[in-house]
A and B are shown apart, each in its own frame.
Chain A
Amino acid sequence: MEKNPTKIVVYHCTNLRLFHNGNQKKFARERPGISIVAVPCSGKVEAHHLLKTLASGAQGVMVLACGEKACRYLEGSMRSKKRVEYAKEWLVKLGIEPERFRFIHVPPMDIKALDSALKEFAAELQSFGNTPPIAKNQTELTTNPR
């Protein structure tokens, strides 16, 4: 097993039907460093989710969306693409490689396409090196009084 696997968080639209019957956990288990997060539509992923994921220790974040014309919620995929671009602008402002965020369309149920995209992404992230490590005492007290 790889000693320091590249940490990648994948947000995927459940309408892509990539995983069935617990396959998602199995897929992640077989690929150390990969975390899979299912969202009802890629349009639910916002710029702050992407930045927060990176700030929490991920080296890269991937958003998997349906084709723009195939989006069940019509605009979700298109919005998601814009948000990833916006989040990349933030990384540029912060002096971090914008390529750490990747937005891709994959065909429904095409787990092989995801696998090869992940391998390619991991290779690119390794060329960047690690993001600065999070100190142990960095705590989050995220609270919304509402």
Chain B
Amino acid sequence: MIVAELKEIREIRNMVDRYASILVVGCDSCVAECAAGGHRETMLLAAALKLSYKKDNLNPVITEACLDRQCVDDFIEGIAHLVPEHDAILSLGCGAGVQALARVYADKPIIPALNTLFIGETEMRGVWQENCLGCGQCKLGYFGAVCPVTRCSKKLMNGPCGGSKGGKCEVNPEIRCGWDMIIRRLDALGELDRLTEYVPPVDWSTSHSGGPRRIVREDQKP
């Protein structure tokens, strides 16, 4: 899932202060799981904005709504009846959601309320861990399902560096060494021999360096 966090209220206010009516739109998918932009957070932000404006004796119209998914047109249409009566949309979607809203509602300013951070997992309640960079060349099968591109701070593909101590990374002692995790897991699975296989260098042309990526599948088209 995509992990994000809410921007500071001051930054949000700076962006939306010019509008007299604001539609606050959440997304009940990834950003709800990471407690940043689901329906609860949407209601929270809308209430916080109302309080913030009240404190300044200002009174914009603030309406809240939440979509099941902000990055798919079929869901985005769910707020079509609310959009015309507002000056701007404050989106609690990830960067993809914000841009999808901007494409569908081309005549409305769309303001992001979140900072989109990474692709990750919910490690435990309240803790989210980055574990995929979207490099486009997944090699998890070689590395015991632990990604060296993401979990190793130096993105090393050929074993740990000299800074790994006690299973911790020298970049930050709170970070677990990605290669320590790879080796321990493969050892536990009895598959340490995987590391003797030749892993070709990463082809970074499939990563973001080549510009925005796109997948087209004819069988999925309408």
Contact = CB atoms under 8 A, between A and B. Distances in A.
Contacts of A55: 47, 50-51, 54
27 contacts: A46-B40, A46-B44, A48-B41, A48-B43, A48-B44, A51-B47, A90-B44, A93-B8, A94-B51, A96-B55, A131-B54, A131-B55, A132-B56, A133-B54, A137-B59, A138-B50, A138-B59, A139-B61, A140-B63, A141-B61, A141-B85, A144-B39, A144-B65, A145-B66, A145-B67, A145-B79, A145-B81
B55 A48 contact: no
A143 B9 contact: no
A52 B24 CA distance: 14
B55 A95 contact: yes
A84 to B, nearest CB: 13
B39 A51 contact: no
Interface residues of A, number: 28
B5 interface: no
B145 interface: no
Contacts of A36: none
A144 B78 CA distance: 9
Nearest to B49: A55
A52 B44 CA distance: 7
A146 interface: yes
B115 interface: no
B64 interface: yes
A54 B8 CA distance: 20
